[in-house]
Structure 1
Amino acid sequence: SGDFARDLGPYWFKNGESQWFHAYNRNKKSLTLDLRCDEGRGVFLDILKTADVVVSNLRGDVPEKLGLTFEHLKATNPKIVCAHLSAYGREGPRASWPGFDYLMQAETGYFSLTGDPDHEPTRFGLSVVDQMTGLALAYAALCGVTRARASGEGGDLDVSLFDVALSNLGYPAMWYLNNGYVQKRLARSAHPSLTPCQLYKTADGWIYLMCNKEKFWPALVNAIDHPEWADDPRFKTFKERFDARSEIQDMLDTALSAKTTAEWLIDFAGTVPASPIMDVGEAMENPFVKDEGRLQDIELEGHGTYRYLRPPVQAEVPAPANPAPKLGEHTDDLLGDIGYDADRLEALRKGKVI
């Protein structure tokens, strides 16, 4: 049946395919193969001969059982890089544990850092650990390939959801480990070290200011017609402004309430780091998204055209714009590339190997 996400709703295209699945699997190819039988294992090893990387996204104890480690594969391809993504790693007491993004956020402190101080523990609005771990695995695999090409020897690389979540704690972890300080959630999504860097009230809602360089404080106070605050000894430095966070919040709330968020964004453009607060729909309708080519149209058989976000990396050669593949859509092409003819493919299909 393939990836469970193929059946994940609640939104579907006209041909019955999951929009959730398409969001994460565009421009990929799909091959079906039963690794549990000897013939399927043989096909896998044939593919392996010309491969650079084998990527697995499995429970930590499964790669060894399926023979996906370097020890199992090096005889076929000594340069192969085996990049393993798991919940808690392939070794240790949790190697056999299943695990998912929100569990990692909960256990590594993210729930205690996200949201309002008076609310219940809160996760990120997106599966940020999943996405960070995928990126970590990608650059780990590229590093592994670079090393293998230089040395002639591949190896195993391990990236776990838990380790990536933990490593991205950054300075809150540093503060606790060296000073015993436990960072908590701050009202208005404030920065724990800098002010002004939080939500402020405007005439019609909110605006986020992020004056994280000294030059932006005078730029801000001049833009809001309070130039006298630039030389006020209470607010001269980062430290003094941080100590006066509450007072500055009240002052800026009052000053910014004179205009709407949109009006302030015009005044601040290019001089004061500021952003409106948008929901997802507003973000997609943002002219900076729509008018600057950040959306792309993709043709999907049985549905027509659907729209999604352009890849964030821009290069001279445009990125392809292909929909997520149907299950096994490229099996014949990929196996044909390594010399399998039509008769061989038909035999494998009859034996339910592919």
Structure 2
Amino acid sequence: MRPLEDVRILSLEQYGAGPFGSLHLADLGADVLKVEDPGVGGDVGRYVPPFAEGEDSLFFETFNRNKRSISLDLSNPHGRKVFEDLVRESDVVYSNLRGDVPEKIGITYEQLKHLNPAIVCCSLTGFGMTGPRAKEPGYDYILQGLAGWMSVTGDPDGPPTKSGLSLVDYSGGFVAAISILAGLHAARRDGVGGDCDLSLYDTAMGLLTYPATWHLNGGFEPVRTRNSAHPSLVPFQAFEATDGWLVVGCAKEKFWQRLVVAIDRPELAQDPRFVDFANRGRHAAELLPILEAVFATASVDHWLSKLRPAGVPTGPINDIGQALTEEHTLARGLIVDTDHPRFGTVRQVASPVRFGTQRPEYRRAPSRGEHSEDVARSLGYDDERIAELAAAGAFGTNPAEGIS
């Protein structure tokens, strides 16, 4: 069996952060059942351009492979009844909605524990379910600003800058996956579930890590650095070669000793200004121009051929295409394929989460409501009961949205 094959997750998820969290669990074998609202056309990720046609998008495929979908109107009492039947047979109710919404729609532990005392209710919201911003929507870009990320990102002479990827969203997804697994462990051990009150805001603040510790305890004020330089280790930054850029990092003294030999400047190691981390930090304005002038004399490949064999941490600054075709990317099996009726073969990156030697199997993302009938029958509903529920609007007002 796959690691999570005996786990069912009811997921009221949408867009990026929520689906990204459950994606890793689905790849590990969990039955992630997307509960999609027919009143709004399901997960908004289905419609994200530029690669979108109808209800299919490559954005949606990225975050929803290996999942199933049921169209269900929770505001309809009949749809609510189906949802409650599913809660009885599930392990987790997962959502990424605004902080005040989970309680409004009745998906907190207090509201569901009578159906299943061991249910784990995980809510990944923008700002959490408490606090002055609980009712506000939270988006990655806004949170990067609020949490101070943008103040330390970008060139010192440029404007505050967001990260190139939606790292608050994706990190929030990982936080949710970890919390779900912790909740599952506790529920199976104790027979009692509970709430996971998670937020993107908490995630962004938590990722401030050691700069926050330095500030709280020593008054440290982080600043933006030229060429993405590390705030305390010199040299550890991007250097420009004749045909591109590479990153060189001396996180240990031994790497500095190796670097100066590899670039044919061994005398730098004996210079009293550069003998250790502290001195290199104090004299960075003198050292870095020397190194920049050296790296500007040859190509990226030339320097990689010198530094990598010498054991100096280094790598090219790739574009996305180069990263996806890196030898190591392919060797690690990080590109996976699924078959899609509209897009044909869809290639995407694999989840980095792994256990054991068994490789995941990959299945395309579900069409909206694709598994509604299968799920209904798994609950013991016969044809007559399914027809009654469909007529009552449990699966949506348009038969095409739910069960035909």
Please, which of 342, 345, 351 is the counterpart of residue 302 of structure 1? 342
Q: Does 1:186 align with 2:225?
A: yes
Please state whether the residue corresponding to 2:83 is helix, strand or coil. Answer: helix
% identical aligned pairs: 43
Equivalent position of 1:4 in the other structure: 44
What secondary structure does 1:109 align onto? coil
Q: What amino acid is the match of 2:66?
A: N
Q: Find the counterpart in structure 2 of residue 55 from structure 1.
A: 94
Would you say the 8 A contact 2:78–2:392 is kept in 1? no
Indicate the SS of the match to 2:56.
Answer: coil
**Aligned equivalent of 2:192:** 153
Whole-angstrom distance in 1 between the partners of 2:83 and 2:103: 15
Structure 1 residues not aligned, in runs of 5+: none
> Are 2:297 and 1:232 equivalent residues in the alignment?
no
Partner of 1:195: 234
Deviation at 1:291, TM superposition (A): 5.2
Aligned equivalent of 1:266? 305
Instruction: Give the match for residue 100 of structure 1.
Output: 139
Shift of residue 198 of structure 1?
0.6
> Matches of 1:102 and 1:134 in 2, distance apart?
16
Q: Specify the alignment match of 2:329 in structure 1.
A: 289
| Mapping 1:66-145, distance limit 5 Å | 66-145=105-184
SS of the residue 2:68 aligns to: coil
Deviations 1:324-354 (A, max 9, x none): 1111111122232222233322322222212
Letter in 1 for 2:278: K
- Return the offset for 1:66: 0.9
Q: Map 1:213-228 to 2 at 5 A.
A: 213-228=252-267
Post-superposition CA distance 1:289-309 (Å, at most 9, x none): 245532122110133112111
Change (3 A) 1:140 1:210: same
**Partner residue of 2:368?**
327
Q: SS of the residue aligned with 1:333?
A: helix
The alignment partner of 1:34 has SS state of coil
What's the CA shift for 1:86?
A: 0.8
* Structure 1 residue aligned with 2:24: none
Q: Report how far residue 16 of structure 1 moved.
A: 6.3
Q: In the alignment, does 2:378 pair up with 1:337?
A: yes
Using the size of structure 1 for normalisation, the TM-score is 0.95
- 1:45-97 superposed Cα distances (whole Å, 9 cap, x missing partner): 11111211111111111111111111111111111111111111112222211
Aligned residue in 1 for 2:289: 250
Q: Distance in 1 between matches of 2:126 and 2:106?
A: 19
The answer to whether the 8 A contact 1:207-1:276 is kept is yes
Are the aligned partners of 1:31 and 1:330 in contact in 2 as well (CA < 8 Å)?
yes
Report the counterpart of residue 3 of structure 2 in structure 1.
Answer: none
Q: Secondary structure at the match of 2:71?
A: coil
- The whole-number CA distance in structure 2 between the counterparts of 1:65 and 1:234 is 63
Alignment of 1:353 with 2:391, yes or no, is no
Q: 1:42 and 1:313 mapped to 2: Cα distance?
A: 35
Helix, strand or coil: the match of 2:233?
coil
SS of corresponding position for 1:166: helix
**Distance across 2 between alignment mates of 1:174 and 1:291:** 38
State the 4+ residue runs in structure 1 displaced beyond 4 angstroms. none
* AA in 2 matched with 1:183: P
Superposition deviation, residue 231 in structure 1: 2.8
1:275 matched to 2:275: no
Please tell me whether the aligned partners of residues 125 and 199 of structure 2 are also in contact (alpha carbons under 8 angstroms): yes
| Structure 2 contact 123–195 (Cα < 8 Å) conserved | yes
Q: Which residue of 2 aligns with 1:27?
A: 66
Aligned counterpart in structure 1 of residue 80 of structure 2, from 41, 59, 81? 41
Q: Report the TM-score, using the length of structure 2 for normalisation.
A: 0.84
- Alignment partners' CA distance in 2, 1:16 and 1:144: 33
- Alignment-mate amino acid for residue 335 of structure 1: A
Distance 1:16 1:328 in 2: 11
**Aligned amino acid, residue 347 of structure 1:** E
The unaligned stretches of length 5 or more in structure 2 are 1-40, 396-404
